[in-house]
Structures are given as C-alpha cells and as structure tokens.
Amino acid sequence: MTQLILIRPDIFLKNSFLKYLGWMLSDSSPLVREKAVAGLLAPFKVNEEEISKKSNRRKSGSPRIDTGLMVSIAEKFARRLADCTMDVDLTVQERAMELLLAFARESLLDNVEDEELWKDINSRALAKDTTPIVRRDSLLFVIEQLEAFDNSNIRSEKDAVERINALASWTTHCIATNNTPLNKIPFERVGYVISSLRVCPEHASLVSNYSAILQALQDCGNTSASKNKRRLEVIQRHVLIEMLVASVEQEMSSLDQSSLEGVVDESMTAALRANEEHHKDSKKKRKTEGSQEKLTTAILAMLP
C-alpha cells in the first residue's frame, strides 16, 4: 500500500485507501503498527528528501506529494496516534510522534479541538517512559503551538527571552497543577527540555544563551497577581533555575576533563562532581539536595 501511495499519489492518497493504514494502527502486532505509521509518514519523508535535494542544487524546493490531502485521515486517527506515542513498543512511539509532528507542521491538526489529546501528545516531551527521540519530537510539537516561535530566526535578545519564557511557562503548567505540593513537583524533568533543545539545530542556541535565561528569571514574578498566579510564578522561577542548571551541567558533561581546565573554577568542578555522585546513588536524599544547591550556587556565581 505504501509503495502504491508513493508511485501514484493521485490515485491512492485518498481516504478510501489511507483508512486501511489507519485501521492497522490498532493491530495487536507492534510490527504491523510500526509499518502502518511508517506508511502514513512516507509521503512526508519523500517530500522532505525532494526539497532537500533541490535545496542542495540551489533550486526552489516544492513538495512532490500533496500531503494536505491527508487532513481527514490526520483528524480521524489523531487520537489513535496519540495513544501510539505511549505504545509498549518504543519504535512505534517514535514513528507515531514523528508523524504527529509532520501533521502539525502541515497544519493538518488545526481543527482538532480535543484538549486531552493535545495534552497527551505534549506531555511526552517530559515523559520518563520513552526515548530521547520521542521527547525531542514532542517538544518540537509543543513549539509549533507557541507564539514566541512563530518567527523562524531569533532576531534579538528579546526574542530569545520570549522563547525561554514560553518554554518555561509551558513546562510549569505541564508539571504542576493547583493541587500539586511544591515538594512533589518533578522539577528534574526540566532537564529533558534542555536535552531536546540541544539536539535541535534551529533551537540549540537557546541552551547556551545564559544571559537570556537569567533575564527571563529576573523578569519572572515582577507582577502583582492572585495567589494562584503567584504560586505559578514561584514554580516557573524554579523551572528557569533548573533550565539554567541543566544547560550548564549538560554543556560541561559534553566536554572532556582537559577542556574543563580554565573554563570553570574549582567550586564549579566540585559541584558537578558532587552532582554526578548523587545520580549514582539516588537513595541518599540529603546528599542530593546538597549537591543540587551547590551546583546552582556555583553556576549563579560564575555567570555574569
């Protein structure tokens, strides 16, 4: 079916044929589910390759297959694809998230108003029970919805601050609810956002833009608001601090020991070492909190 769609999209890229791939998303076999998602994803892959080839030849790129014709299928099977991002098979999760991202980029889900569906897809960006690929594509799916990312490039420091604030605000609402005690909020998952941004060329610069993160932190909580909003601002400040910590920590981890010499002071190195020891023994809670505090203090002291 997939090959027929690619060879003659004018005939087979229609609901009457695509629905069979949609039905296969519910098959009991993970392999069948994976192939079904891959079949629906194939037209987007072909277009991506075609545009890339023309771009390399400095020619204007245009899609070969009109994927806009898949809008009805996208809307009809969006719920099932969202469930596939939580599939027992990790490969199915990755393919499903990649397809949903393709749908979002082509505006094929704009008429889907199921809030729970959007929440389920977005939450995969912070999920522990999945792969970095799913978290990355889910975060890109979230970014497609954030107004701060409407422009393709960061034109000023203000743009960077707005993007960081948008991500921090979304993360805050994702990990915290009105009834969640502060000590139960999984702030450690903020690191997933940084990890995902680092592997996205178009957004990686945000990770190392410490001045923008610090500015966002400074701006947060400067407004008088209701008790609930003030609570969210406190949580968002914590999220921004975690973003800063994770950014520096992951950057330092990517360097070898010789590269660290002359870049960070002894307190920073000691804090990083203490934090690494904490990750090796998560049962030592007091040591965990102490290491994290040392790391945060060292980072804030080091940055301008």
Looking at residues 26-37, what average pLDDT do you find? 97
- Specify the higher pLDDT residue, 270 or 166: 166
pTM higher than 0.85, yes or no?
Answer: no
- Element spanning 219, H or E: helix 210-219
What residues does each domain of the chain span?
2-143, 152-302
Distances (CA, A) of 286 to 91, 115, 227, 244, 298: 38, 39, 30, 22, 18
pLDDT in tens, 172-225: 999 987 777 888 899 999 999 999 999 999 999 999 899 999 999 888 866 656
**pLDDT for 181:** 83
Check whether 278 has a pLDDT greater than 70: no
At 65, the amino acid letter reads I
Check whether 49 has a pLDDT greater than 60: yes
Looking at residues 136-146, what average pLDDT do you find? 97
Confidence tier at 71 by pLDDT (50, 70, 90): very high
**pLDDT for 153:** 78
